[in-house]
Amino acid sequence: MSKKLIISASDKIILKLKALAEEKESVLRIKTIIDSMVEGVAVADTGMHFELFNKSAERILGVGLLKEDPSKWAKIYGVYLPDQKTLLPVDQFPLKKALKGEIVTGFLQYVKNNQRKKGLYINTTASPLRDLNGRITGAVAVFRDVSKEKEIDKAKTKQLAVTAKEKEDVRLKLVVTAEKLAVTTKELEEREEKLKIIFRVLPVGVAVLDVESKVVYDNHALESMLGMTEEGLFRGDYEKRTYLRSDGSIMVPAEEFASARAMKEQRAVNNIETGVVKEDGSIVWLSVNAIPVKFSDWKMLVVSMDITERKKAYDELKETQEKLSRLDKLASLGKLAGIVGHELRNPLGAIRNSVYFLRLKLDPALQDEKIKRHLEMMDQEINNSDRIINDILFFSRIKQPIFTQNNLNKILKASLKKVTINPNIKVETELAELPFIPSDENQLVQVFTNIILNAAESMPKGGKLTISSSVKQDRDSINVSIKDTGEGISKENLRKLFEPLFSTKINGTGLGMVVCKSVIENHKGYIRVESEEDKGTLVTVELPIKQT
């Protein structure tokens, strides 16, 4: 009987030691993640004494964990308000506010000390830590160096002064280390609970994958980024989403996910720009880092940062720069086109007069059919050349529109009359009742004539041409659509459609669509072209009802 009791007691001790070991490993995992983050993490107790100060915190601030009185923090760490002059008051420290129950987000501070003589800006998020009864037991602050982002903001406000092409380096170097924790079971439980809370409130998205690449742990930030619940992530609902490469094309997750690449190459894969199409159709852009880890049931750590706003700002800046570059090229080309157009028109007029004179002098009764045919060919080529010269001269003379009140339906009808339509083409008009809008009638007639002519020429064997107009629901603008069932445009040519001198026609100048785009943009509108080879083309022009 005593032997059985001894064995039973021994089993209980073994079970307790095993549970203690498992708790130590769990705490170790979370502490390792926090200590390996690129963001600085600091945890203080209710007396404002530091309990945790990770390596990134010391790297960013230049000063490590100190046991000084909180009233001296600002001076020792060199923490100032964004004006770079005023030391941060103690009651404004994010940790101090968090201990009062506040949740602090996006708090900007300036740091300058003996180790950080050049100074840097940090952005801080802080939250209170509560026990199971809801009592505040401490506070956690997460901060990162945002100096580069401040530089980008300054560049953007100066508009096109400097390109903002830098991408924030979010490389996470996760070093798994083993530490022995000589603490009691109760202390382990309290520390584990506190670290779990910190993990959940981190401002970056974190997911842990198991040996089967399934999510076994995540935090609130990731759920918010993806628009999913914890249960949905555990079920693998994220696999049903559409993912995009940095250029907007669709990604193949099984091959291109950061986690898939890290798994295949057995190394950390950092800063993979990935777009996630959410259920409502919106796109969130993430910078994803995947790091293999070697715990018993963990295989991969995936850390994601939301870069949607940064990417949007970068894309807007790039688009504006491309637009300025295009305008510079158009201005130079316009000057050259004006000179060439005028120089060609004079000899062309002489050739036209010579053909006319020859026709007068040749006896129609004795005129050779071959001579007659050649004179007609000369007449046709003179007309083609004249049209090209007119396009060149119009391009060189594009000016700001002279606004008068006009009805777009009248302009569309006038444009249609100027184009010779193949009898095999069926023309349909669907014109809604439109208000008068401020516009330059001559310029718009030139635009719509060019678009209608392109549509007609794309249907040499016949087809259907549909011209429609409508007022948008918000009643701020008018839409004009010109649709054909012609040959269509390839994807490669569609990208070049608005480039000067690009044309798919034998006798084309490559200036028509450039002129159209310039005129419409001068009217503060936009032009969009959609096309598919062998199915046709749709050109949509939107013009504002009021000019501001």
Model confidence at 173: pLDDT above 60: no
Q: Which of residues 393 and 173 earns the better pLDDT score?
A: 393
pLDDT band at 444 (very low <50, low <70, confident <90, very high): very high
- The per-residue pLDDT for 430 is 94
Model confidence at 379: pLDDT above 80: no
**Model confidence over 43-97: pLDDT tens digits?**
888 888 888 888 888 888 888 887 878 888 878 888 899 898 999 898 899 988 9
DSSP assignment, residue 497?
T
- The per-residue pLDDT for 21 is 53
HEC states along 422-447? CCCEEEEEEECCCCCEEECHHHHHHH
pLDDT band at 365 (very low <50, low <70, confident <90, very high): low
The whole model's pTM is what? 0.39
Q: Which residues contact 505 (CB under 8 A, 6 or more apart)?
A: 457
DSSP assignment, residue 26?
H
Model confidence at 366: pLDDT above 80: no
Cβ atoms 90, 79 nearer than 8 A: no
**Model confidence over 458-485: pLDDT tens digits?**
999 999 999 999 998 777 899 999 999 9
Amino acid, res. 66 = L
Model confidence at 290: pLDDT above 50: yes
The mean pLDDT value of the chain amounts to 78
- The per-residue pLDDT for 511 is 67
Model confidence at 220: pLDDT above 50: yes
Q: How far apart are CA 139 and CA 48, in angstroms?
A: 9
Q: Which of residues 401 and 173 earns the better pLDDT score?
A: 401
Most confident of 98-107, 149-158, 350-359: 98-107
The answer to which of 115-129, 154-168, 469-483, 512-526 has the lowest mean pLDDT is: 154-168
Mean pLDDT of 331-360: 69
Percent of the chain exceeding pLDDT 70 equals 75
- The per-residue pLDDT for 434 is 93
Mean pLDDT of 520-534: 91
Q: How far apart are CA 130 and CA 197, in angstroms?
A: 8
Amino acid, res. 56 = S
Q: How far apart are CA 540 and CA 466, in angstroms?
A: 12
- The per-residue pLDDT for 409 is 94
Q: How far apart are CA 94 and CA 440, in angstroms?
A: 58
Angstrom distances, CA of residue 423 to CA of 338, 486, 496:
36, 15, 31
Q: How far apart are CA 54 and CA 506, in angstroms?
A: 68
Q: Which of residues 510 and 379 earns the better pLDDT score?
A: 379
pLDDT band at 174 (very low <50, low <70, confident <90, very high): very low
Most confident of 65-69, 137-141, 323-327: 137-141
The answer to which of 170-184, 287-301, 314-328 has the lowest mean pLDDT is: 170-184
- The per-residue pLDDT for 168 is 41
- The per-residue pLDDT for 337 is 59
Domains assigned to the chain: 2-147 (3.30.450.20), 196-313 (3.30.450.20), 314-397 (1.10.287), 401-548 (3.30.565.10)
Helices (H), 252-407: 253-256, 258-265, 308-361, 369-396
pLDDT band at 395 (very low <50, low <70, confident <90, very high): low
Burial level of 386, CB count in 10 A (0-12/13-18/19+)?
Answer: middle
Q: Which residues contact 54 (CB under 8 A, 6 or more apart)?
A: 34, 35, 37, 40, 41, 42
- The per-residue pLDDT for 183 is 45
- Tell me the residue length of the chain: 548
- The per-residue pLDDT for 328 is 66
pLDDT band at 156 (very low <50, low <70, confident <90, very high): low
